[in-house]
Structure 1
Amino acid sequence: MTDMDAYKRLREDFALAIPDDYNFAFDLIDRRAAERPDMTCLIAVNRDASEVRPVGYGEMAANSARFGNLLLSLGAAKGDKAVVMLPRIPAWFDTLFGCMKAGVVSMPGTNLLTAKDIAYRVQRSGARFAVVTQEHVEKIEQIRGDCPTLEHLILVGGTRDGWTGFEAGIAAQPASLSRDRAPSTRADDDMMIYFTSGTTSQPKMVPRDFGYALAHTITGRYWMDLREGDVHWTLTDTGWAKAAWGILFPPMLMGAAVVVYDGDAKFDTDLHLKLIQRLGVTTFCAPPTVYRLFAQTDLSGYDLTSLRHCLGAGEPLNPEVMRVWKQATGTEVHDGYGQTETINIVANLPGFEIRPGSMGRPVPGITVDVIDDDGQPVADDTIGHIAVKLDRDGGAYGLFRGYYDDEDTNARVFRHGWYYTGDTGRRDADGYIWFVGRADDIILSAGYRISPFEVESALIEHPAVAESAVIGKPDELRGEIVKAYVILAAGHRPGEALKTDIQDFVKKQTAPYKYPREIEFVDALPKTISGKIRRVELRAGEGGDGKA
């Protein structure tokens, strides 16, 4: 059987039924607790890694029931919103699963949110509840007067007047919450809301329904290759949808134990590598930056042989990093693609060829293609819009139904029977999809369409470049020229000679017309709190319109 035949068979054999009343907290957490209460759900690791504590499904079911009962005792009603800002600790899971049981819509937020960020989220959603640690108490107190809907404040890991203590609060509640006593929920009811990272505008609200959780079976099976008994570790903040992918739904659906390390903001390479060895991590997911840090380390001093499947997302890894990692672990890094608005929709599937630089092929159950403005597939190796076919009751597995209270944006992204992701890419003759960039970031120079992402990928290969951002700068002759903002690596000084060397290097790494005609050395780049570069600010600074 050829590779293409095997891929087609995989898609043809796919089947996934989502019950009308699916609720992850009841149907997976409680069911597994009833069947195998001692089965490890989480492996909680404290800040200095001096304590490692397994958490079983029985404990998770009980604590989430207690928190659900606490919410109901405070008057929570189905559909109420709760801001949740907690680090990577078991209480985050107790809170989210308890919200699911009580019918409360949780809104996870990164721990980097400012008081202004929190106020925006509360005001936009009408949230009634906030669940935070001591780190965020003063931020909440600062905005309370401007957020009249915020009635109930719950503090994890402490006590304060006017707040409900999480630990004391759940201790006083029953350790069970039967489904017939909880608000009735359906698979198409809102379960969570994520806020996008706001690279070009104010963050948008992305509601995720209960069916979204079960749809992550696709993520867990066809990208993450998770199996029962695996020890899985995804490096992510709890405030982003990547946490739903990596430490919430797919691992538990597939029966893997999730590593939850409450690490310091400053990344400790040695400690992370030692934890992979100590915990026997079998499947691992990290951003490309982390793999680059690992590749700069002498990996011969670590036993990483427990790893059998590794994952990356966000940008392709350069060949040297891939080579170093495979030499140390025997594993390749499987790139994948998806958004806050989707589950994993494109992946380098386990057991199939990895084409370095490609996101892979559409996963079973979901139709993804590269199309034009009219919804028609473009020719192979032609840049177009990456889009998801609305072929399942007007939607697709794990696809959101639209941004909250934003009909103008919804009309732009849902058209011609497709969901337009806002990203551009190209498809090769074998169906592999290659990311080009955000549709708004494409540079049009002298008739060429240039991906900032591709230029940045070439720049990062230069030893003097630590980080870069590329935009199109208005130009009277060419329409736009490629301009790069470059942060230099340690030991390198800015200068005209270095600019020329970097430009010549990029000409050799990619098509010569893509090289940056201008390079500006900078100390920092404008970013969202999730770390995504705000090219819109850079364009505005160059006389561009700065529009999304």
Structure 2
Amino acid sequence: MRTFLKSWIPQCLWILRSPSRTFHGNNRLLTFQITSHYESINQGKKELPEYFNFASDVLDEWARLEKEGRKPANPAFWWVSDKGEEVKWSFEEFGSLSKKTANVLSEACGLRRGDRIVAILPRVPEWWLLNVACMRAGIVLIPGTSQLTAKDILYRLQASKAKCIVTNDTLAPAVESVLSGSEFLKSKLIVGQGSRDGWLNFKELLAVASADHQCVKTRSQDPMLIYFTSGTTGFPKMVLQSHSSYGIGFAVSGRYWMQLTPSDIMWNTSDTGWVKAAWSSLFAPWICGSCVFVHNMPQFKPQVIAETLSKYPITTFCCLVKSIYCSLQELRKLFHLLFLSSYKFPSLKHCVTGGEALNPEVLAKWKIQTGVDIHEGYGQTETVTICANMKGMKIKPGSLGKPVPPYDVQIVDEHGAVVPQGEEGTIAVRVKPTRPFCLFSEYLDNPEKTAASVQGDFYLTGDRGFMDKEGYIWFVGRADDIINSAGYRIGPFEVESALIEHPAVVEAAVVSSPDPVRGEVVKAFIVLAPAFVSHDPEKLIHELQQHVKKVTAPYKYPRKVEFVQELPKTATGKIQRKVLKNKEWAKV
């Protein structure tokens, strides 16, 4: 099996244009069916390879094919800065640099196989080198967003027992402020131009490091990554992923959801601390031999996104949070009359999104303005993509698509029993009799949470939804976000989608609010568009309420509305409804 993966995965993914395709090479004929292949591994019909390492079994194989002239000429990695600087690396160049980085971690930082390292960096090339270097050395990487506070950093260092931290000049002072509580930390590595007392300088060490490095032999289920969940309901949990869960698990979604080939250039805007960066800026595109495009984008600016899509030959675009698409939509409106021609996206052919469900209004307007559909996908830190609008599927605006092989996704009740189609329940993944290999290994050091995530034969996502007669999954809301008003169960997403269709609304968050008659009612927190800030608030509230009544069921309209300047969000950019809900119920 290891030989098969090492020799054939990159070549087959290169030539795939349909689920089954023939490949001629070395006088051999191979019929390769990628979806059934990975389903077979998951279902136990084919064994998961005992050993697997993404760096040696995938990236190094692409480097070999590249060297032999058997791969399109696109770079493996293409980074641009807001000042116009560019870095382009082939698979061979990237491989050499990642081997040097692995030696820096082992020799200069003193890390050994199984040690853990926290990496808190913005979108800089070093982040990608660190990811692959850790795979080569068998070191467990723990990514974190640059938005982390000193308290957040301390919690992660203590919980993970990390022996090394990598960051830049901006966050180094925050790390130093919590060093007294970081008893496991042995070394600190800084990415940047200058030196800092007590810190090793990555650039200086890389310049003198050897590229001679032998990749460790890792088992498929050995630990590779730890992600901290966003922690909207308590302390973040450590989600452990193995070498195979992400390294193999994104093959199907990369090819059939993201529709990637070696000729494609993929740009994913996710922050490096978000799990979607691993999904769409590393594993999925490189499994398919695509070019990973990165813009450092220190601050989100719609103009930068539009200009980048217009200037560079980006074929595939991914945004995690729906507000980015909404902002782009507003940008296109703004420049429609005078500057539309300067924002054409000539190479763009495919768009995907995840994280939060998009309302149909955004999907429709994006298609009108760009000519490209947005294919929604759904998954969690604990999973790879479990539902998506895959290649060739009819897109139902607002749905999450259908289950992605090898997952058996069902809607279950509180006892873990599958409910009838059309009935609401918890979105769940079947884990018995066979647990999918691309599901997380465990909540590290938290066996109670790990056990509680399974009910009957299913892993519970904690998200509410329903399945229609055609097998499409529809998102309703987080299980703890559901509003029960006088016996009516109301999901916040549908109300938020209705509100955001109104031109006065930029963002909306809907939560429950206590009510003496109905028990709880719908309350909407709304960020207004600048043009509506000066409007009479009472008249505007009435207008928005009537709008929701027309768009969705009348009983779902927000009986309470509060205008705010901004909504609380997690470090990953998701709206923290829990914060708003707690404030409401604290008033009782």
TM norm structure 1: 0.93
Rounded to whole Å, the distance in 2 between the matches of 1:82 and 1:13 is: 34
Q: 1:30 to 1:39 in 2, by over 3 A?
A: farther
Partner of 2:405: 364
Q: Give yes or no for contact 2:355–2:379 (8 Å, CA) kept in 1.
A: no
- 1:113 is paired with a residue whose SS is coil
- 1:14 is paired with a residue whose SS is helix
Q: Give yes or no for contact 1:507–1:515 (8 Å, CA) kept in 2.
A: yes
User: What are the equivalent positions in structure 2 for 1:15-30 lying under 5 Å apart?
Assistant: 15-16=37-38, 17=41, 18-30=48-60
- The letter of the residue matching 2:383 is T
Following TM superposition, by how much is the alpha carbon of 1:13 offset from its aligned partner in structure 2, in angstroms?
5.5
Following TM superposition, by how much is the alpha carbon of 1:545 offset from its aligned partner in structure 2, in angstroms?
11
With 126-135 and 212-221 compared, the bigger mean Cα shift is at 212-221
Partner of 2:523: 483
Q: Deviations over 1:225-275 (max 9, x none)?
A: 11111011111000010001110100000011011111121x232332222
Partner of 2:313: 280
Q: Deviations over 1:122-150 (max 9, x none)?
A: 00011100111111111111111110111
Rounded to whole Å, the distance in 1 between the matches of 2:389 and 2:490 is: 24
Following TM superposition, by how much is the alpha carbon of 1:96 offset from its aligned partner in structure 2, in angstroms?
1.1
Rounded to whole Å, the distance in 2 between the matches of 1:544 and 1:443 is: 16
- 1:76 is paired with a residue whose SS is coil
Identity, % of aligned positions: 43
With 536-545 and 273-282 compared, the bigger mean Cα shift is at 536-545
1:417 aligns with 2:457: yes
- The letter of the residue matching 1:76 is L
Gaps of 5+ in 2: 1-17, 20-31, 42-47, 68-72
Rounded to whole Å, the distance in 1 between the matches of 2:267 and 2:556 is: 37
1:104 aligns with 2:139: yes
Partner of 2:208: 172
- The letter of the residue matching 1:124 is A
Q: Give yes or no for contact 1:87–1:238 (8 Å, CA) kept in 2.
A: yes
Q: Which of 65, 70, 85 is matched with 1:35 structurally? A: 65
User: What are the equivalent positions in structure 2 for 1:249-398 lying under 5 Å apart?
Assistant: 249-265=283-299, 267-286=300-319, 287-296=321-330, 297=332, 298=336, 299-391=340-432, 393=434, 395-398=435-438
Q: Give yes or no for contact 1:15–1:365 (8 Å, CA) kept in 2.
A: no
Rounded to whole Å, the distance in 2 between the matches of 1:471 and 1:14 is: 42
Rounded to whole Å, the distance in 1 between the matches of 2:570 and 2:204 is: 36
Q: Which of 155, 158, 174 is matched with 1:139 structurally? A: 174
- The letter of the residue matching 2:229 is T
- Size of the aligned set, in residue pairs, is 533
With 419-428 and 157-166 compared, the bigger mean Cα shift is at 157-166
Q: Which of 405, 424, 433 is matched with 2:445 structurally? A: 405
Q: Which of 36, 39, 42 is matched with 1:14 structurally? A: 36
Rounded to whole Å, the distance in 1 between the matches of 2:444 and 2:477 is: 25
Rounded to whole Å, the distance in 2 between the matches of 1:30 and 1:53 is: 20
Q: Give yes or no for contact 2:360–2:398 (8 Å, CA) kept in 1.
A: no
Q: Give yes or no for contact 1:39–1:57 (8 Å, CA) kept in 2.
A: no
Q: Which of 202, 211, 236 is matched with 2:235 structurally? A: 202
Partner of 2:569: 527
Following TM superposition, by how much is the alpha carbon of 1:39 offset from its aligned partner in structure 2, in angstroms?
5.6
With 223-232 and 536-545 compared, the bigger mean Cα shift is at 536-545
Q: Deviations over 1:107-131 (max 9, x none)?
A: 0100111111110000001110011
Following TM superposition, by how much is the alpha carbon of 1:544 offset from its aligned partner in structure 2, in angstroms?
5.8
Following TM superposition, by how much is the alpha carbon of 1:320 offset from its aligned partner in structure 2, in angstroms?
4.4
Partner of 1:232: 266
- The letter of the residue matching 2:256 is Y
Following TM superposition, by how much is the alpha carbon of 1:12 offset from its aligned partner in structure 2, in angstroms?
11
With 317-326 and 522-531 compared, the bigger mean Cα shift is at 317-326
Q: Deviations over 1:323-367 (max 9, x none)?
A: 332234321111110011100110011111000000000012111
- The letter of the residue matching 1:511 is A
Rounded to whole Å, the distance in 2 between the matches of 1:445 and 1:386 is: 22
Rounded to whole Å, the distance in 1 between the matches of 2:223 and 2:149 is: 26
Following TM superposition, by how much is the alpha carbon of 1:392 offset from its aligned partner in structure 2, in angstroms?
6.8
- The letter of the residue matching 1:24 is F
Partner of 1:432: 472
- The letter of the residue matching 2:208 is A
- The letter of the residue matching 2:553 is A
Rounded to whole Å, the distance in 2 between the matches of 1:178 and 1:93 is: 19
Q: Give yes or no for contact 2:74–2:263 (8 Å, CA) kept in 1.
A: no
With 428-437 and 459-468 compared, the bigger mean Cα shift is at 459-468
Q: 1:365 to 1:111 in 2, by over 3 A?
A: same
Rounded to whole Å, the distance in 2 between the matches of 1:361 and 1:306 is: 28
Following TM superposition, by how much is the alpha carbon of 1:474 offset from its aligned partner in structure 2, in angstroms?
2.3
Following TM superposition, by how much is the alpha carbon of 1:300 offset from its aligned partner in structure 2, in angstroms?
3.8
Following TM superposition, by how much is the alpha carbon of 1:316 offset from its aligned partner in structure 2, in angstroms?
4.0
Q: Deviations over 1:148-191 (max 9, x none)?
A: 11111111113222211111212222102113xx4x42110110
- 1:280 is paired with a residue whose SS is coil
- 2:376 is paired with a residue whose SS is strand
- 2:123 is paired with a residue whose SS is coil
Q: Give yes or no for contact 1:499–1:519 (8 Å, CA) kept in 2.
A: yes
Q: Give yes or no for contact 2:310–2:345 (8 Å, CA) kept in 1.
A: yes
Partner of 1:3: none
Q: Give yes or no for contact 2:150–2:175 (8 Å, CA) kept in 1.
A: yes
Rounded to whole Å, the distance in 1 between the matches of 2:446 and 2:304 is: 44
Rounded to whole Å, the distance in 1 between the matches of 2:429 and 2:577 is: 25
Q: Deviations over 1:415-446 (max 9, x none)?
A: 21211000010110000000000001101111
Q: Which of 216, 236, 251 is matched with 2:250 structurally? A: 216
Rounded to whole Å, the distance in 2 between the matches of 1:88 and 1:13 is: 32
Partner of 2:279: 245
With 74-83 and 244-253 compared, the bigger mean Cα shift is at 74-83
Q: Give yes or no for contact 1:11–1:365 (8 Å, CA) kept in 2.
A: no
1:69 aligns with 2:103: yes
With 426-435 and 137-146 compared, the bigger mean Cα shift is at 137-146
TM norm structure 2: 0.87
Rounded to whole Å, the distance in 2 between the matches of 1:325 and 1:344 is: 23
Q: Give yes or no for contact 2:384–2:439 (8 Å, CA) kept in 1.
A: yes
User: What are the equivalent positions in structure 2 for 1:37-52 lying under 5 Å apart?
Assistant: 37=67, 40-48=75-83, 50-52=84-86
Rounded to whole Å, the distance in 2 between the matches of 1:545 and 1:367 is: 43
User: What are the equivalent positions in structure 2 for 1:533-548 lying under 5 Å apart?
Assistant: 533-543=575-585
Partner of 1:60: 94
Q: Give yes or no for contact 1:11–1:363 (8 Å, CA) kept in 2.
A: no
What's the RMSD between the two structures over aligned residues? 2.1
